[in-house]
Structure 1
Amino acid sequence: MMRNLLLTFSLCATLFSCSVAQKKSAYVFSYFKGNGADGLHLAYSYDGLTWKALKGDSSFLRPLISKDKLMRDPCIVKGKDGIFHMVWTVSWTAKGIGYANSKDLITWSEQKYIPVMEHEVGARNSWAPEITYDKKNKQYMIYWATTIPGRFRETQVTADDGLNHRIYYVTTKDFETFSQTKLLYDPGFNSIDATIVKDGKRWVMFIKDETREPAQKNLKIAYASTLTGPYSKASEPFTDKTWAEGPTTLKKGDTWIVYYDKYTSHTYGALSSTDLKNWTDISNKISLPKGIRHGSILKISKKELAKLL
């Protein structure tokens, strides 16, 4: 009898301990809705599957810069300085991107326009910027997709308004001064929506093949030993024939989860994998706020989430 009670107590204590440990941290999903005119939206999750909108799914920050005043594709990272840094798409046609920072994801700094492609006279856009921190070099890399007419003629078509993107980047240590803009990745196809994360000693890039003729519109993976590349040849697509974009990822233990926007069907999908080669569709296991669009996922502390709640 006493042994059974001790076993029961031990099990309960273990379950309680695990529950508390699991909730020491949480995830935040930054996203936009509609065309991005009302700005930044945030949702939270403890398990990376069930997401609940914060602030009644209203905007945390309204866009003020560029002629279009949009805040599409928001990407947020927490810097080594403890500050949250965010970049976003400010317009369909601008040659620069937006930047702001915050200590708590609630009160934001003045919004700043970073003219990453203004030096390219013919550049048509600067889409879906993201930030990844390079611990070895103690700097951030900001990267995005741009079409420059006349470049990469081998993949130029008239469909999709003649857009023919590649991935470009700058580096910065302080978000005040930036390196010269350089080409990050030319996979040999029209490509957008890159997101890069560290995996052991390698860097993993998830990227959209934007090819229209014949249509690809799927997600692929490339690898590099350093953040700025060179990156490997892109893998075969790991998403199905449903047109996909805006990948964002998190890793729980040994399991990767990649979220992506099934934009033609106005739904979100999710795939899981332990080796980045074999994928399981877990779309039926996720729950997201209605109308969520392309964004990013970051890990925050329970204390940080408490302020947001």
Structure 2
Amino acid sequence: MSRLLTRLAAIFFAVGVFLTSQCLATPQRAAAADPGYLMLHFTGEGSTGQQMYLSHSTDGLHWNDLNDGAPILRSTVGTKGVRDPALVRSPDGSKYWIIATDLCWGCGSTVDGSINNGSRSIVVWESTDLVNWSEPWLLNVAGAIPDGRNAWAPEAIFNPETNDYVLYWATNVPLDGKTKHRIFYARTKDFRSVTTPQIYIDRPGAQELIDTQIVEVPAGVGNYRYVRASGDGQITLEGSNSMLGTWTHLGNLSGIGLTGAQVEGPMWMKFRDRDEWTLYLDQYASRGGYMPVTTTNPSAVATYKLPASGSYHMGVNKKRHGSILNLTAAEESRVLARWPSTPAKRLQSYNFQDRYVRHANYDVRIDQNVGTSPDSQFRIRPGLASSGTVSFESVNFPGYFLRHSSNDFQLVRNDGTAQFAADATFRQVAGLADSTWSSFQSYNHPDRYIRHYAYQLRLDPITTATARGDATFRVTN
């Protein structure tokens, strides 16, 4: 419990601290042009930090924040915050899932409430291409555990012995006279239903156990097919040749000065060009984010090494407990095309220059005093329906675009349909009231333009001088 209290103290010290500057360096391709690595993670506390972020690396050690450091997905279910995500790829590469803790520290939650009466569900997204994601849903994994009180840090790995996924997570539960977090598991094929949860890992006495991640090791390296790293007061390593079989204690990383009082959130990555792995560890106690510990044999504790000074760079955003995927060339191409460097912009009204386009409760209007509010920030993407056009994606609701429907504008999630793409696509032309500004002509109703009327955004024909002013905007920072 002392580790848990230390962890909570570190978490709440950071509540309210938000990143105010984010950037993306252009990824540099490796000389051999091998595909790189994708990290899914969260960044910290608050409703913005506890969302889904992506980073890319060409060498597994130097990371660039994608999407200009902004979230790529935002939870709209449960607590509306997500932490500790895992990125799961099906064996044939036809499906992907994101699973994450349904928890928002500092967003109305309390320490006792989150530990003893937290969400028993995890948040799940699904994709067929790694870039277009479903709406999130809640999967109740701990509801069937008698007096199970939460569900934290989910992970999943495909098990060829049972042809399904072993889904495992931490739940706080009283058992055998001790109330503490233990690792439970269930099996699933689709992340929509699970088998009855069973205890997967328990430690003696009152020892807490929250974070575990498994890596599969190829034949010829060490004595075990699977190695798992767990945060349990130490960073403990165990090996097994059967995912649901017996696990053997291998040791811990205290020999290189790392204990569970300092680091957590173990995250494995295999270098694609050599027999070497890195075990990323989140320096939560010092609020330092991830650092890599390397090894040539995950099951041999003596082979782990601390990183040399200057040997890695984690990018601008702090990386917290997440998951790394070795990309294929096709996956990398899609990911980098979907989340390029596109700085956030605002749309300033021509005839009410103290007002900017913003969304509020998914409605769209022009308002005063929005400053640099994320509600008034958009990324101007290549048009969803046609080249040479633009679409407006929300910064703080990634995947949501300005869309017209019955001549009204809403902020709506992209459903991938041709109709949505057409409704959310516009031609940027010289401003109808001032050619140094811009106007935006509808792609599928070319006789109409974006304009404001009674401060609400509309799609209308433009026939008067007043309307021309209403339909003119400046694209600004």
Coarse TM-score class (shorter-chain normalised):
0.7 to 0.9
| Map of 2:80 onto structure 1 | 69
Pairwise CA distance, 1:152: 4.6
Whichever residue aligns with residue 280 of structure 2, its letter is Y
User: C-alpha root-mean-square deviation of aligned residues, in Å?
Assistant: 2.0
- Report the count of equivalent residues: 273
1:79 aligns with 2:90: yes
Bigger shift: residues 124-133 or 101-110: 101-110
What per-residue deviation string (whole Å, max 9, x for no partner) do you get for residues 139-180 of structure 1?
Answer: 11110011102x154xx4xxxxxx621110111122233211
1:181 to 178, 194, 197: 197
Q: Residue 74 of structure 1 contacts residue 295 of structure 1 at CA under 8 Å; is this kept in 2?
A: yes
What per-residue deviation string (whole Å, max 9, x for no partner) do you get for residues 261-302 of structure 1?
Answer: 011111122211113322210163111133221101111122
Q: How far, CA to CA, are the matches of 1:270 and 1:283 in structure 2? A: 10
Counterpart of 1:177 in 2: which secondary structure?
coil
1:42 aligns with 2:54: yes
Q: How far, CA to CA, are the matches of 1:74 and 1:152 in structure 2? A: 30
Q: 1:62 to 1:182 in 2, by over 3 A?
A: same
Q: How far, CA to CA, are the matches of 2:125 and 2:86 in structure 1? A: 11
1:191 aligns with 2:218: no
| Map of 1:282 onto structure 2 | 307
Q: Residue 141 of structure 1 contacts residue 169 of structure 1 at CA under 8 Å; is this kept in 2?
A: yes
2:142 to 117, 120, 128: 117
2:263 to 230, 244, 248: 244
| Map of 1:292 onto structure 2 | 319
Counterpart of 1:303 in 2: which secondary structure?
helix
Q: Residue 282 of structure 2 contacts residue 320 of structure 2 at CA under 8 Å; is this kept in 1?
A: yes
Q: How far, CA to CA, are the matches of 1:120 and 1:56 in structure 2? A: 41
Whichever residue aligns with residue 170 of structure 2, its letter is A
1:254 aligns with 2:281: no
Pairwise CA distance, 1:105: 2.8
Whichever residue aligns with residue 256 of structure 1, its letter is W
The percentage of aligned residue pairs carrying the same residue is 28
Q: How far, CA to CA, are the matches of 1:291 and 1:98 in structure 2? A: 22
Q: How far, CA to CA, are the matches of 1:229 and 1:171 in structure 2? A: 14
Q: Residue 248 of structure 1 contacts residue 295 of structure 1 at CA under 8 Å; is this kept in 2?
A: yes
Q: How far, CA to CA, are the matches of 2:176 and 2:82 in structure 1? A: 29
What per-residue deviation string (whole Å, max 9, x for no partner) do you get for residues 108-133 of structure 1?
Answer: 11211111111235222111001111
Q: Residue 250 of structure 2 contacts residue 301 of structure 2 at CA under 8 Å; is this kept in 1?
A: no
Counterpart of 1:246 in 2: which secondary structure?
strand
1:51 aligns with 2:63: yes
| Map of 2:285 onto structure 1 | 264
- What is the TM-score normalised by the length of structure 2? 0.54
1:208 aligns with 2:214: no
Q: How far, CA to CA, are the matches of 1:262 and 1:105 in structure 2? A: 28
Q: How far, CA to CA, are the matches of 1:138 and 1:121 in structure 2? A: 28
Pairwise CA distance, 1:36: 6.3
Counterpart of 1:308 in 2: which secondary structure?
helix
Whichever residue aligns with residue 126 of structure 2, its letter is N
Q: Residue 145 of structure 1 contacts residue 166 of structure 1 at CA under 8 Å; is this kept in 2?
A: yes
What per-residue deviation string (whole Å, max 9, x for no partner) do you get for residues 182-234 of structure 1?
Answer: 1111132321111011123521111001xxxxxx3x31101122112332236
Unaligned runs of 5+ in 1: 1-17, 157-162, 210-215
What per-residue deviation string (whole Å, max 9, x for no partner) do you get for residues 27-63 of structure 1?
Answer: 1010002236331100011111001110111111101
| Map of 2:72 onto structure 1 | 60
Q: Residue 185 of structure 1 contacts residue 230 of structure 1 at CA under 8 Å; is this kept in 2?
A: no
Q: Residue 184 of structure 2 contacts residue 201 of structure 2 at CA under 8 Å; is this kept in 1?
A: yes
Whichever residue aligns with residue 120 of structure 2, its letter is K
Whichever residue aligns with residue 306 of structure 1, its letter is S
Q: 1:104 to 1:283 in 2, by over 3 A?
A: farther
1:221 to 228, 234, 237: 237
Q: How far, CA to CA, are the matches of 2:322 and 2:308 in structure 1? A: 17
Q: How far, CA to CA, are the matches of 1:247 and 1:166 in structure 2? A: 16
Whichever residue aligns with residue 320 of structure 2, its letter is R
Q: 1:36 to 1:132 in 2, by over 3 A?
A: farther
Q: How far, CA to CA, are the matches of 2:144 and 2:46 in structure 1? A: 26
| Map of 1:213 onto structure 2 | none
Q: 1:168 to 1:304 in 2, by over 3 A?
A: same
